[in-house]
Amino acid sequence: MRFLNKKKNIILSFALVINSLFTVNTFSQNHKPFQGKLVYSVEMADTAMQKMIPARTMVIYTNDTIVRIENETNQLGKQIIIKHTVLNKSILLLSSGDKNYAIQTNLNKKSDSTSLKPSESKYIYKKKFGRKKIVNKKANRMTIQLKGQKKEIEILYFKDYSTKYIDAYNEIPGLPVRYYIQTEDGIVVYTLIQMENKTINRDLFGIPSDYKRVTFDQFLDEVIIPSQK
């Protein structure tokens, strides 16, 4: 039972990473291309939880077509996602012990019956008047509300840039620069603290030679199941 619960938690963790890549953008809008580096602060919304879980950062590099997201998770440790926004493919880089794994995902193989359509969004979005400053840039405001609930949460976004660089709330009409994610530990706040336009070394978007390419199922069979024996 303990093994099944652990395996379930790992599957859910992967699902949160991978499923966010399938979300479509329901707003049609032209955006400026962006090449450079984005840095987000990541901290718990609850002040009591802030003492237990220290703040960290999420770093994103992009040449506008390929995106590298470096993030730290409680369940899986450091994870790196490299996704191609045109080919619709992604690689999740993880380490287990002294072995490194590149978990491959072809998003084009997701069946139409399970793809998220605009009308199926679980959120209700409402634009708000007025703007707030993030990294010395004016950000637009929008509230999101989970269908069936009364509570609204305000998020901020840059309307001139695409949401494709961030795997969260991909249905809003711009790049999220302050947003909230519900996790098993509580609500996490992501806030953009650095936005730097520059050319990114293409080596960052490659798969290191010491990483073994596997599917998600192969990773479970090779790493998770043997660890429980």
Total domain count, the chain: 1
Of 125, 88, 93, nearest in space to 109 by CA? 88
* Cβ neighbours of residue 3 closer than 8 Å, sequence gap 6 or more: 225, 228
Residue 22, judged by CB atoms within 10 A of its CB (0-12, 13-18, 19+), counts as middle
**pLDDT mean over 216-223:** 82
3-state secondary structure of 164: helix
Q: Is the pLDDT of residue 141 over 50?
A: yes
* Mean pLDDT computed over every residue of the chain: 78
pLDDT of residue 70: 93
CA distances from residue 75 to 11, 50, 96 in whole angstroms, order as listed: 11, 17, 12
Least confident of 52-61, 150-159, 216-225: 216-225
Q: Is the pLDDT of residue 108 over 60?
A: no
Q: Is the pLDDT of residue 211 over 70?
A: yes
Residue 192, judged by CB atoms within 10 A of its CB (0-12, 13-18, 19+), counts as buried
Give the pLDDT band of residue 29 (cuts 50, 70, 90).
Answer: low
Which structural domain range is residue 195 located in? 2-227
Interatomic CA distance for residues 116 and 136, integer angstroms: 34
CA distances from residue 157 to 21, 132, 138 in whole angstroms, order as listed: 18, 9, 9
CA distances from residue 43 to 24, 49, 101, 141, 182 in whole angstroms, order as listed: 27, 9, 27, 20, 12
pLDDT of residue 182: 80
Q: Positive or negative, the Cα torsion across 152, 156, 158, 164? A: negative
Each residue of 77-103: pLDDT tens digit? 678 999 998 888 889 998 877 889 999
CATH value at residue 144: 2.50.20.10
Instruction: Please give the DSSP secondary-structure letter assigned to residue 108.
Output: G
Interatomic CA distance for residues 156 and 132, integer angstroms: 8
**pLDDT mean over 64-89:** 84
Q: Which residues face 125 on adjacent strands?
A: 144
Amino acid identity of residue 106, one-letter, is N
pLDDT of residue 87: 84
pLDDT of residue 99: 86
Are β-strands 137-146 and 123-134 bridged in parallel, bridged antiparallel, or unpaired?
antiparallel
Residue scoring higher pLDDT (147 or 135): 135
Least confident of 2-11, 31-40, 111-120: 111-120
**pLDDT mean over 17-36:** 61
